[in-house]
Amino acid sequence: MKVMDAEFAQNFARLAEDGWQLRFHERNGGNLSYRIPMEAVEEVRDDLCFDAPFTDIGTSVPNLAGEFFMVTGSGKYFSDVLRKTAETCCIIEVDSTGTKYRIVWGLTKGGRPTSELPSHLMNHEVKKLASGGKMRVIYHCHPANIIAMTFVLPLEDKVFTRELWESMTECPVVFPAGVGVIPWMVPGGREIAVATSEKMKEYDVAVWAHHGIFCAGEDFDIAFGLAHTVEKSAEIYVKMRSMSSAKHQTITKEDFIALAKEFNLTIREEFLD
């Protein structure tokens, strides 16, 4: 089977297009990665090429040794992914030590995987271990409203979580553990990768101050839906703050407890006080 005939590749491109259409990306902003199930790798193996040399990842992910990932390319535009998937994306193989990778498909006109590859792989490792292998998607995007919130709120997990939960009833249902917040760091390096992976031990979404969000999910719909929900709540918050400097009513602690009981949620109670 050709890679582009595989369901995972088609869904990968669809998420990229959805993110572009919602203006979560500008120019070459954002990146996406998917840990490919081994049975899917076998289906497309004849379309892969294993001649490229291995390259240093820039970090160590021993629990991902031998895994394959589909990732967007560095400097590539999300607006092109659906129409030019093989030019803008690639499949990489992680070596047996978890310290190197090689490109086995894609980037047909040259290039390398996303500059955020260390962050993606470190967070894939965290989520693989935490979910028993169920988590497969890491999605990074630049939604305007959640970025705007990082300029006016304290960069604290509890503060951001509570404001997002209160802005839209769906939020504690979609991310009952809350969100993590990371102060501004230089993108693409090990420091931000380590900080994000620490937050991902507790949450499925991390807010990068003045930059964007980093989301994890079991599949493309869950990961994208998480990003979409966070940004919609942030949009409501921004609109509310533009109308009034104070809330006249909101969802209360007691309301959240009732919601958690009704939907059988394990909500982060320390964020309710």
Residues annotated as catalytic are 116
Burial category of 178 from C-beta neighbours within 10 Å (exposed 0-12, middle 13-18, buried 19 and up):
buried
Strands 180-182 and 205-208: parallel
* DSSP code, position 109: T
CA dist list (Å): 83 to 15, 78, 88, 139: 13, 10, 9, 19
**93 phi and psi angles, rounded to 5 deg:** -115, 130
Looking at 56-99, list the stretches that DSSP marks H as alpha helix, in order from N- to C-terminal side: 78-81, 85-88
